[in-house]
Structure 1
Amino acid sequence: MKFDAVRACSLALGLLLGLAHADVTLVSESRPQAVIVIADKPTRVARYAAEELVRHVEKASGVKLGIHAESEDSGALQRIYIGDSAAVRKAGINVEKLGAETFALRVTKEAVFIAGQDGGGEPLEADTMAGTLWGVYEWLDRDLGVRWLWPGELGTHVPKTQTVVAKKCDDTVAPRLFQRRLRAGSGFESEHPALGFTKEAAKQFSEEQGIYLRRHRMGRSFPVSYGHAFTDWWEKDGKEHPEWFQLLESGKRGPNKKGGRFSMCVSNPELQREIVARWKAKRPADATTPGFINACENDILGLCACEKCRALDGTAPADYLKFYPATSKMAGSRFVSDRYARFWLGIQQQAPADATVIGYAYFNYFQAPTSGIKLNENILIGYCPSAGWFPRSDEEHAWMKQQWADWRATGARLFMRTNHLLDGYCMPFIFAHQFADEFHHAVEKGMVATDFDSLTGHWATQGPNLYTAARLHVRPEASADAVLSEYYAAFGKAAKAVESYFKHWEGYTTDSREKIGQTMESLQASRWRSWAKAAHVLYPPECFTPAEKILEEAVRAAGSDAEAAARVKFLQLGLEHARLCARVSAQLSLATSTATKEEIKKAVDELIAFRRANERSGIGNFNHLAWVEDLSWKLSEETRKAPDLYP
């Protein structure tokens, strides 16, 4: 049957006459009171958004709402319009005039409307605009109290109810940040793949995590590309234009050895012109999205020793190297932030007025310039410290935040591009409060985007960190305690015990700050790639006992609540796995290992058996762990086999 045109017209008339907003009942006493209506030819985003609404309402109430095309008449009293449609337009919502990723959420006496700017791509792709999907998640958050603790069904917390009500509202909501990104951490590869996921388990983990990230509204309003920009330039241009590249103290231009890394001669105006010219040549003439010129230095310190580059350098701050260890690449380096600020400004001044130049505040150009140079909002800087790992002392934490404020004071825009979430291996390494404080400071000081590298996905041991990182993208003003109380509340009667458990580990992490630094330095372990060298030192066997007792208390508190008990079991699995990894670290660490082949095989077999038994549980990203362990442990050739084939 055709959609009831009379009803649609009366609905539009009522809205035009100022029809009062009111709560709308969608489910009453476990019976459906509404249907979902989508356009006859909806976007894939709108259809997926409708399906997400159905899934969560059913999980809450046991009632599965129907999805109908607009041309159908369901005979229902109430309708939930999802995505652009004739009824949505008649209600005065023009999605084409909404900003990128923006949605309208309106609840009237007559209907619920959730519609926004959508792209035509796959709903789970980060580059697909998904305003309507964000609107559905906003409603689920507000009115159903849904919380996505970690990927998968167990991590999806939906309070049970027999009645579902959409509360009156009339809001238009846009993301606070034009890009919200937690890198998924699904691309880690190891020379010892048997330590990681089997193929199907890896697929499941990646898919569930992808859904989780979209539920926390990870995505962006328009395409933006950046990264170490000049990695292949020497190979292509070194012979013809050696003057574009760093001058070494030896008088040679380019890398100091064949295949070595190199920085650019950023004072060279010809290099600046060439960067703009190459960007123009690649940019489509009919492009409608903002243009971004990638001017991020290669993954190396700024090393050019030519007189022109050095003439651009400002005076090094007194605290320039204060918070870097003596073994850091930064030791003895020259402060070069001013030359890079002038480099980005020089490129921007030659580019079209609507272009934005992207650079990184990194290595020896992480601190803000000291010469007084003024930048502008057409320069976007990625805040990318090569130190500042959590937990920090109060002094270091204040210093790290000051660097953000000082760069912002130049007039440039900033985005968060830290590597700090790579820290901690799979240990219960908790720093949620300091992370939240830095995030809040960045928001207050004008943060426009994020790109955190990377979401390593150890959900059962580092859940508070990861939930806080995701949740603040949606509620950036929420306090750390407010965010964490959401997380703990999902454990029902076990909430207080779980809160005590993670407070215990956050205290342990904070108290271990100096020991962590000293251990990493003495064992020559990296905070992001060879942490498993040090796991046994930082997490000795006796440290796990108090935490185990707290989780046993949580089990008792959960009682007959099966869902809460399952979530506590999830944490127990994570802790058991962390203890096993620390024990294997003690035997196999490259820093101290004297294990025999037989001992190596026994230790690794035990670890792999645990991972195979629990690889579908979602407790952690085993491929990430295999990558770290490959760089940390003495391993056998046997573990080079595919995990599906390992005996």
Structure 2
Amino acid sequence: MEMKNLLLLFLLSAFVPLSALDIVLPENPHKYEKMAADELFEAFSKCGIPDLRITDYQSVNSPAIRLTSSKKEGNDESWQLKSSGKDLVITGASPIGTLYGAYALLRKAGVYFIAWDAAVYPDLSKWELPQLDERSAPAFSGRQIFNRYPNIFRDNRAKESDKKFWLYSLRNGFNGTTPVFNHKALYLGDEMRWTTRVHFCHNYYEYLRPDEYFADHPEYFSMNKAGKRDANPHRRGTQLCLSNPDVVRIVADKMKEFIRLDRENLPQDQWPLIYNLTPNDAANEICFCPPCKAVVAEEGCETGLLIRFTNAVARQVHEVYPGIRILTRAAMGSEKLPVTKPLPEVTVYYADDFTNASCFVPQTAERRENILRWVKAFDRPVIWDYWNMGLGAYFTPPRPEVVLDAMIDDVKWMAANGVVSLFTEAERDFLIPQNFLDLEFFVLAQLMIDPEQDAEKLIDIFLAGYYGKAAEPVKKYLSALRKGVKEHKGVQLCCAALRWDYLTAQFMLENYLVMQEALKLAADDPASLLRVKAECLPLFWSIVYYRRDTETLFAQNGITMAEVLDQLKEYSGQVLANFGFESRKLAAQQKKLSEKLMQLDANLAIPEKFAGIAGCRVFAWPHQKRVAHSKARPVEDKDALAGKSVMSNFHKSRKFSDRRTRSFTFYDYEQKRSIALNVDPVDEEYHWYTIKKVRVSKNSIFTAHLWMTQIDLSQAWEFPHAGREEVNDYDLHFRAKFTGPSFFPGSAKEDAVWVDLVVLVPEMKRD
């Protein structure tokens, strides 16, 4: 009995809540050890632990958290949590390991920094210091999400939001950023300490500039299939001639100059370790000159040419600056391994082919097999991944969707199969943001540190902390999206997702009502309420955008389209205002938002020639899809019936001689059906043209000028009740004009193709 009493007394004493806690700094602490102490103090204070103090190693009371560091070996960010009597010792590899250990302890206590503007601080008034003996390190050496937060905060002078973002990034273990923000990052790991001298990708012409060299040395630049050398100064569509030894020399000399400048202008602990040298964008091939083609033939793929060139540059650079690493990217779609391996000082990003891949489902078995071959063949394999990017061209129209399950599956697989670093490109749309993007950022951040964590538990932590009392209905909406994405039958591309199978009128009504419940539950918490409103935006947009499909069902439930549109306008404005932009900058962003919303309430009159025909649908500049790499845009035009016209002058005169520039097309993604009309322009005035017998679906477009102009027609689709598919049959009339000397020699106007209106006139009689 006495032994049992002693044991009980011991157990009770071991679990007495903390009445005081010392956080002990080591002798001569460096900045991250000081930050670890400050972060522990702040978090535990907010959690209700009494009598906290930060003290030095000579004045300590127990229990205490003792901070110390060990010597770093290589790219070491590890930490150890080890109990010592009543105390807990956090030891980390210098410089960052101790701070990472502090964050690991906070996670064990239930403290999470879930978003740039939100954190979870549980009640720890009855918490005790745990008994621990564990060592850990992040699963990925390089961890970065390119999400556009720093760009938007900088460009709109949101200083306080910017500070919060960088602290959030540190707290969640991100150790890289795009180089232009190196000076703002609170920590950069060795895997992503990039130079700021060049752009972090698509930067060949920053080492060898066309404006300096092309006139006298066109041989330095890539040759196309027709045997012509060219150089687009905007880093797009053309490359360098990678087999030319003079190109190697010039690029290596320029890189050495950049290294010298960095070392002259930065303290040694901030010297970049990595210099990016990556091909330009939007070019399907590198170079077709005979020497380059010979290298490709020997290597079996263009990536071999890329690696030979990068290796040659690296050898010359390392003669002067040993220890520097050069980062390049494998050419898009490079599935075949080259014969030549990269040197140890060359790192190759294996970039996902986002134009042909889906970010909404886990990588296919074939894709994973290809990645594994690269992982096994190359030292320090790195993946460049893409999500549903919120750039205008890729998120138009906005869609309710998530990448959550694909991301969880992929990151766990990558960690288990030797991927060293992960760079995720996932730009946020700041006007109508993607659903649950901050949740996905949080879960990815946690899994890059420890992929063995329970992802569903992390999701629940985020939902409760971010949406407060509304967490349950918000989770119901999230679950509906996850289920819908999983069950979608087709392939949705990262850059061109179409209308989802699940995005029916019934789905939209059910989830509109779910989110109305969430709004009510969050009504007394302004922060949670605003976050719920943000999640409503893509759904509400879709409800109004597809009003022909939704209006009747919503009306039957007492909800008008005007009501939903008013909510969308109000909520999107409030969400935008929350980012803390400078007033003048906020006004500019609000103008962009208003222009975007015009797609939904543009009052386009039916042209006089179609007056009296029931069921006509009118489309114009508000329905222009933003197309990647296109300069097609709405412009004021006094001759346009809509007031503005979609004008495309892409490629200027180079492409206007192509007969295809005179072609207009109706294309349906679901039927994979294209109907084209070739036009012979007669003057520089507007004329009406007709494409007969088109059947509109949920994913139909009208295109002009090599698809640079794309007018979205999906709003015209009507659910075919009783199988009456003919309700979606139309004749398509469009009003267009051609201008410029490529069409009319001697013209003083700009070469361009203009589209004013697209009118769908129903084949069947409408009441």
TM-score by length of 2: 0.59
**Structure 2 counterpart SS, 1:51:** helix
1:422 matched to which residue of 2? 389
> Shift in Å at residue 434 of structure 1?
1.4
**Structure 1 counterpart SS, 2:328:** strand
Structure with the higher fraction of residues in strand conformation = 2
Q: Within 5 Å, give how 1:3-152 maps onto structure 2.
A: 29=17, 32-38=19-25, 42-61=29-48, 63=50, 65-70=52-57, 73=59, 76-82=61-67, 88=68, 94-95=70-71, 100-117=76-93, 130-142=96-108, 144-152=109-117
Residues 1:242 and 2:206 are matched in the alignment: no
Cα 1:389–1:500 change in 2 (3 A) is: farther
2:644 matched to which residue of 1? none
Q: Within 5 Å, give how 1:301-320 maps onto structure 2.
A: 301=283, 302-314=285-297
Letter of the aligned partner of 1:439 in structure 2?
V
**Structure 2 counterpart SS, 1:236:** helix
Q: Between the two structures, name the one with larger relative contact order (CA 8 Å, sep ≥ 6).
A: 1
> Shift in Å at residue 140 of structure 1?
0.7
Q: Spell out, residue by residue over 1:84-109, the C-alpha distance to the aligned partner (whole angstroms, 9 max, x if none).
A: xxxx4xxxx54567964333433211
2:414 matched to which residue of 1? 442
1:210 matched to which residue of 2? 166
Are the equivalent residues in 2 in contact too, given 1:367–1:403 (CA < 8 A)? no
| Alpha-carbon separation, structure 1, partners of 2:304 and 2:123 | 57
Residues 1:397 and 2:397 are matched in the alignment: no
Cα 1:368–1:442 change in 2 (3 A) is: same
Are the equivalent residues in 2 in contact too, given 1:535–1:582 (CA < 8 A)? no
> Shift in Å at residue 306 of structure 1?
0.5
Out of 178, 182, 186, the residue aligned to residue 145 of structure 2 is 182
Cα 1:160–1:574 change in 2 (3 A) is: same
Letter of the aligned partner of 1:471 in structure 2?
Q
Cα 1:55–1:224 change in 2 (3 A) is: same
Q: Spell out, residue by residue over 1:568-594, the C-alpha distance to the aligned partner (whole angstroms, 9 max, x if none).
A: 74553233333344456569xxxxxxx
> Shift in Å at residue 486 of structure 1?
4.5
1:343 matched to which residue of 2? 309
Letter of the aligned partner of 1:168 in structure 2?
Q
1:506 matched to which residue of 2? 482
| Alpha-carbon separation, structure 1, partners of 2:537 and 2:13 | 45
1:469 matched to which residue of 2? 444
Are the equivalent residues in 1 in contact too, given 2:242–2:248 (CA < 8 A)? yes
Cα 1:476–1:626 change in 2 (3 A) is: farther
**Structure 2 counterpart SS, 1:383:** strand
> Shift in Å at residue 448 of structure 1?
1.7
**Structure 1 counterpart SS, 2:436:** helix
Cα 1:348–1:403 change in 2 (3 A) is: farther
Q: Spell out, residue by residue over 1:402-422, the C-alpha distance to the aligned partner (whole angstroms, 9 max, x if none).
A: 332222233243212223251
Q: Within 5 Å, give how 1:491-640 maps onto structure 2.
A: 498-512=474-488, 514=490, 516=492, 526-527=495-496, 542-550=506-514, 569=529, 572-582=532-542, 609-615=570-576
> Shift in Å at residue 617 of structure 1?
5.6
Letter of the aligned partner of 2:292 in structure 1?
C
RMSD: 4.8
Q: Where do 5+ consecutive residues of structure 1 fail to align? A: 1-21, 83-87, 119-128, 190-195, 318-334, 521-525, 588-600, 639-647
TM-score by length of 1: 0.68
**Structure 1 counterpart SS, 2:381:** strand
Are the equivalent residues in 2 in contact too, given 1:431–1:510 (CA < 8 A)? no
Q: Which moved more, 1:403-412 or 1:279-288?
A: 279-288
1:227 matched to which residue of 2? 201
| Alpha-carbon separation, structure 1, partners of 2:287 and 2:428 | 35
> Shift in Å at residue 472 of structure 1?
1.3
**Structure 1 counterpart SS, 2:451:** coil
**Structure 1 counterpart SS, 2:365:** helix
| Alpha-carbon separation, structure 1, partners of 2:490 and 2:63 | 60
| Alpha-carbon separation, structure 2, partners of 1:578 and 1:516 | 17
1:456 matched to which residue of 2? 428
2:231 matched to which residue of 1? 255
1:160 matched to which residue of 2? 123
| Alpha-carbon separation, structure 2, partners of 1:612 and 1:253 | 49
> Shift in Å at residue 137 of structure 1?
0.4
Cα 1:69–1:409 change in 2 (3 A) is: closer
1:523 matched to which residue of 2? none
Q: Within 5 Å, give how 1:366-385 maps onto structure 2.
A: 366-370=333-337, 372-385=339-352
| Alpha-carbon separation, structure 2, partners of 1:484 and 1:614 | 22
> Shift in Å at residue 258 of structure 1?
9.0
Cα 1:298–1:256 change in 2 (3 A) is: closer
Letter of the aligned partner of 1:390 in structure 2?
S
Cα 1:217–1:628 change in 2 (3 A) is: farther
Cα 1:36–1:293 change in 2 (3 A) is: closer
> Shift in Å at residue 164 of structure 1?
2.5
**Structure 2 counterpart SS, 1:473:** helix
Q: Where do 5+ consecutive residues of structure 2 fail to align? A: 1-9, 176-187, 548-561, 600-620, 623-633, 637-767
> Shift in Å at residue 134 of structure 1?
1.1
| Alpha-carbon separation, structure 2, partners of 1:479 and 1:624 | 38
Residues paired across the two proteins, number:
536
Letter of the aligned partner of 1:360 in structure 2?
R
Are the equivalent residues in 1 in contact too, given 2:436–2:535 (CA < 8 A)? yes
Q: Within 5 Å, give how 1:249-328 maps onto structure 2.
A: 249-255=225-231, 261-284=237-260, 291-301=273-283, 302-314=285-297
Letter of the aligned partner of 1:610 in structure 2?
Y
Percent of aligned pairs sharing the same letter = 16
**Structure 2 counterpart SS, 1:168:** coil
Q: Spell out, residue by residue over 1:553-575, the C-alpha distance to the aligned partner (whole angstroms, 9 max, x if none).
A: 7789x8xx999x88874553233
> Shift in Å at residue 139 of structure 1?
0.7
| Alpha-carbon separation, structure 1, partners of 2:580 and 2:539 | 14
Are the equivalent residues in 1 in contact too, given 2:161–2:580 (CA < 8 A)? no
Cα 1:362–1:570 change in 2 (3 A) is: farther
Letter of the aligned partner of 1:572 in structure 2?
V
Cα 1:545–1:464 change in 2 (3 A) is: farther
Are the equivalent residues in 2 in contact too, given 1:26–1:78 (CA < 8 A)? no
Are the equivalent residues in 2 in contact too, given 1:428–1:462 (CA < 8 A)? no
